[in-house]
Amino acid sequence: MAFIELDVLNNNAEQLALGIDLGTTNSLAATWRDGRPTVLRPDDGEAVVPSAVYFPEDGFPVVGRGARERAMMDPGHTLFSIKRFMGRGLADVQADLRNVPCDVDENENGVVRFHIRGRQYTPQELSAMILKKVQDVACRALDGAAVTRAVITVPAYFDDAQRQATRDAARIAGLEVLRIVNEPTAASLAYGLDQKGDGRIAVYDLGGGTFDISILSIEEGVFQVLATAGDTHLGGDDLDRALADEARREIAEQIGDEAADDPAFRQALRLAAEHCKVELTRQPRAQMHLSLPDGGQWRRTFTREEFEALAAPWIERTLESCRRALADAGLGTDEIDEVVLVGGSTRVPAVRRRVEEFFGRVPHTELNPDEVVALGAAVQAHVLSGGTRDILLMDVTPLSLGLETMGGAVAKIVHRNSTIPCQATEGFTTYADNQTGIEFNVVQGERELAADCRSLGRFKLTGIPPMPAGMARVAVRFHIDADGLLTVSAKEESTGTSSSIEIQPMNGLTDDQVEVMLRESYEHAQDDFDRRRVADLRAEIGIMTHAARKGLESVGAELDRETREDLEEALAVVEREARSDDAEVVQKARDAFERATLPLASLMMDSVARTALTGKSLDEV
């Protein structure tokens, strides 16, 4: 009863909040509706937003499906896998840079910047564009309700810099972040395993670019993470790349290295390899077909066995992390009651087989592995909106936190797999008379030398009252909050003065930089929104007119003359109107054109063309 009273004080009614899975390849939103989590799918389109951004020559960036479609025609101006750059410096992402079609540098705090069409963009800003698009899609699915509160998921193995970057991206997108939740933990919520009683579960999450394994216990509705391990640089992309590298090797023998490394060709190769991998999950063999830069054609049939041999080393690497997590949890595989598979890459039969062998039980695959993280995030958003107190998530910090000592070693202050929120206090003193400041380096990682761990930044303690050397007793408090983010505060205990901490983030944006980006995005918000809508509509119209022309060519003769003329007229009108910058005008033109194509669509027996005409893209069929 007491809780009800409290809830009334805190929340009059449950506000709608989104659960957003910001993925390497795809992003998606879900929310809590009618007593369960639901993926937000607009009537007129797809729920999934490909995590890609295309920069047209003029006008605003195109995000999602439109960007993916342009990538084939204009690979030099499309960015993929932006998540791999979040919270990373140039030195960390050398392998990924091979797939970036533009110039890249680093700002003074080690934040990567992409130079494209005469402007520069940080991964945070690009992720913010994706988040805005996801929000836009979600709001459309909710009949235009403006939802700005969200739970956003990150790989469990993301470190502080990567989590902070995600949080900053959400801020730039104008979202209120209720919580940063780990992807595998979210997935465990989506399965509602607490309904099945108490037990221990393993969540194996192989996404587009990251791998996580989390071991949880569920007791009386409390989901407690016991251990997590993973690799923020291992995912389905690597399986694609293994196939692409094999194809490239064979092609280079034929046409030479230089031609095989043509950026546009690389992009085409990447997409072909991905397509081939998807086919091989369904059938025992698949053909890769490529137009070579020299104009020739290249065809090669891959068997599933060949692909599995190429993928095996990557799959074995995921099992290393599984062993590590089990050891940290102090459990054997026989003590795991349920195994859950998450992430599109767990569709690969070899992955399923190896996971099943490893844990000795058939994993859960009932929920769509691409949707389960967003669904779980929606459950957590429901909890955080005051919707229920039956479920509680207790997550852990994936990496140890430490301080660099005088000799360059690491003094650990928080161990990995500590339940969050957690805290630690460390005492410091001065080594010179009247010293008023102390500088220290906070690192995250398991290695013994600070140089081998990731520096989260240099923290400068100032405002220590002047006193003889060694007399000051400064207590520095490290707090990792429920989002897994570190905050540092300090106090001089002998005088009770609060010392202030100045932080120079490593691979991160300062608050001021985020503010500027946020302001810029506000200033352009309506502008951006309209231009983006126009850009999306134009992309859609392009696909529709292309399909209509093809349809006219193939079955146009069967239409009566009047209908055909109407249609040709409609084609001319929509292409003229699409040049307008007014989103309303373009939207009306698109809708009118869709109506004009109905007779043609009903004529066309080819289901592919029909789908394209009703506004869906070809690759969804």
CB of 222 to another protein, least distance (A): 5
**Within 13 Å, how many C-alpha atoms sit on residue 362's CB side?**
2
Binding mask of the shown chain, residues 316 to 345, with x at each position contacting another protein by CB under 8 A: x---x--xx--x------------------
Binding-site member from 46, 74, 106, 481 for another protein (CB under 8 A): 481
Q: Which of residues 4-63 bind another protein (CB under 8 A)?
A: 5-6, 10-11
Minimum CB separation of residue 338 from another protein in Å reads: 20
CA 78, 81, 82, 86: dihedral to nearest 10 degrees? -160
Q: Which residues contact 159 (CB under 8 A, 6 or more apart)?
A: 87, 232, 398, 399, 444, 445, 454, 456
Task: Rounding to the nearest 10 degrees, give the CA dihedral for residues 314, 54, 542, 554.
Answer: -30
Of these residues, 92, 125, 168, 205, which one is catalytic? 205
Note whether 190 binds another protein by CB under 8 A: no
CB 422 → another protein: shortest distance, Å? Answer: 5
Residue 563: Cβ-neighbour burial (10 angstroms; 0-12, 13-18, 19+): middle
Exposed/middle/buried for 607, CB within 10 Å: 0-12, 13-18, 19+? Answer: exposed
Q: How far is the CB of 35 from another protein (least distance, A)?
A: 20
For 17-41, give one letter per residue: b (16+ CB within 10 A) or e. bbbbbbbbbbbbbbbbeeeebbbbb
Establish if 383 lies at the interface with another protein (CB under 8 A): yes
Active-site choice (21, 231, 371, 536): 21
- SS3 of residue 414 by DSSP: strand
Task: Enumerate the β-bridge partners of residue 438.
Answer: 461
**488 touches another protein (CB under 8 A):** no
Work out which of 36, 289, 389, 579 binds another protein, going by CB under 8 A: 389
Residue tagged 């001065």 (tokens): 430
Can you tell me the distance from the alpha carbon of 285 to that of 541, in angstroms, rounded to the nearest whole number? 35
Distance CA 113, CA 123 (A): 7
Q: Which stretch binds another protein (CB under 8 A): 102-110, 187-195, 236-244, 315-323?
A: 315-323
- Could you tell me the smallest distance in angstroms from the CB atom of residue 116 to another protein? 38
Q: Does 393 bind another protein (CB under 8 A)?
A: yes
Among positions 40, 420, 506, 535, the unique one binding another protein when judged by CB under 8 A:
420
418 binds another protein, rule: CB under 8 A: yes
Q: What is the dihedral of CA 339, 345, 349, 350, to 10 degrees?
A: -90
Minimum CB separation of residue 608 from another protein in Å reads 46
83 is catalytic: yes
Q: Who's near 589: CB < 8 A, 6+ residues apart?
A: 541, 573, 574, 577, 578, 580
Q: Give the gyration radius of the chain's Cα atoms.
A: 26
Containing 404, the helix (H) or strand (E) segment is strand 401-404
How many residues in the shown chain lie near another protein by CB under 8 A? 34
Q: Which residues pair with 443 in a beta bridge?
A: 402, 455
CB of 354 to another protein, least distance (A): 14
- In 3D space, the residue among 337, 379, 369, 388 whose CA is nearest the CA of residue 190 turns out to be 379
Taking alpha carbons only, the member of 152, 200, 193 closest to residue 172 is 152
Q: Are 293 and 308 in contact (CB under 8 A)?
A: no
Could you tell me which residues are beta bridge partners of residue 486? 480
Exactly one of 69, 83, 160, 237 is catalytic; name it: 83
Distances from the Cα of 212 to the Cα of 111, 314, 486, angstroms: 24, 13, 21
Distance of CA 79 to the CA centre of its chain: 13
Question: Please, what is the minimum distance in Å from the beta carbon of residue 221 to another protein?
Answer: 9
- CA distance linking residue 162 with residue 175, whole number of Å: 18
245-284 positions binding another protein, by CB under 8 A: none
* Residue 479 touching another protein (CB under 8 A): yes
**x/- binding map, residues 141-180, to another protein, per CB under 8 A?**
-------------------------------------xx-
- CA–CA dist 469, 436 (Å, integer): 10
Residue 594 identity (one-letter amino acid) = E
User: Can you tell me which of 90, 259, 482, 573 binds another protein, judged by CB under 8 A?
Assistant: 482
Q: Active site includes 511?
A: no
557 binds another protein (CB under 8 A): no
Residue 57 or 220: the one with the smaller Cβ distance to another protein is 220
Least Å from the CB of residue 504 to another protein: 24
The answer to whether residues 242 and 310 touch, using CB atoms and an 8 Å cutoff, is yes
Options 96, 125, 168, 183, the catalytic residue:
183
447 binds another protein (CB under 8 A): no
Tokens 């342009």: give the residue: 70
616 is catalytic: no
- Which is nearer to another protein, 394 or 603 (by Cβ)? 394
- State which residue, 73 or 392, has the beta carbon closest to another protein: 392
Nearest residue (CB) to another protein, 3 versus 34: 3
For position 493 contacting another protein by CB under 8 A, the verdict is no
User: Which of the ranges 360-368, 479-487, 498-506, 559-567 carries the binding residues for another protein, by CB under 8 A?
Assistant: 479-487
**Of the candidates 156, 140, 157, 139, the residue with the CA atom closest to the CA atom of residue 148:** 139
Question: Is 111 or 393 the residue whose CB approaches another protein more closely?
Answer: 393
Measured from the CB atom, the residue of 98 and 477 that comes closer to another protein is 477
- What is the pattern of x (binds another protein, CB under 8 A) and - over residues 92-131? ----------------------------------------
528 is catalytic: no
Q: Which amino acid, residue 538?
A: R
Query: Which residues, 202 to 231, sit near another protein by CB under 8 A?
Result: 219-220, 222
Nearer to another protein, 55 or 314 (CB): 314
Query: Integer distance in angstroms from the first to the last C-alpha of the chain?
Result: 52
| C-beta closer to another protein: residue 130 or 399 | 399
CB 224 to another protein: min, Å: 8
Element (H, E) at 517: helix 511-523
Q: Which one among 90, 292, 409, 422 touches another protein, defined by CB under 8 A?
A: 422
Between 102 and 319, name the residue whose CB sits nearer to another protein. Answer: 319
* Other CB atoms within 10 A of residue 396 CB: 26
Rounded to a whole number of angstroms, the minimum distance from the CB of residue 324 to another protein is 6
Single-letter code of the amino acid located at 345: S
419 binds another protein (CB under 8 A): yes
Q: Which residues pair with 5 in a beta bridge?
A: none
Q: Which stretch binds another protein (CB under 8 A): 26-34, 47-55, 195-203, 386-394?
A: 386-394
Q: Active-site residues: which are they?
A: 21, 83, 183, 205
Question: Which residues of this protein are in contact with another protein, per CB under 8 A?
Answer: 2-3, 5-6, 10-11, 178-179, 219-220, 222, 316, 320, 323-324, 327, 383-384, 386, 389, 392-394, 418-424, 479-482
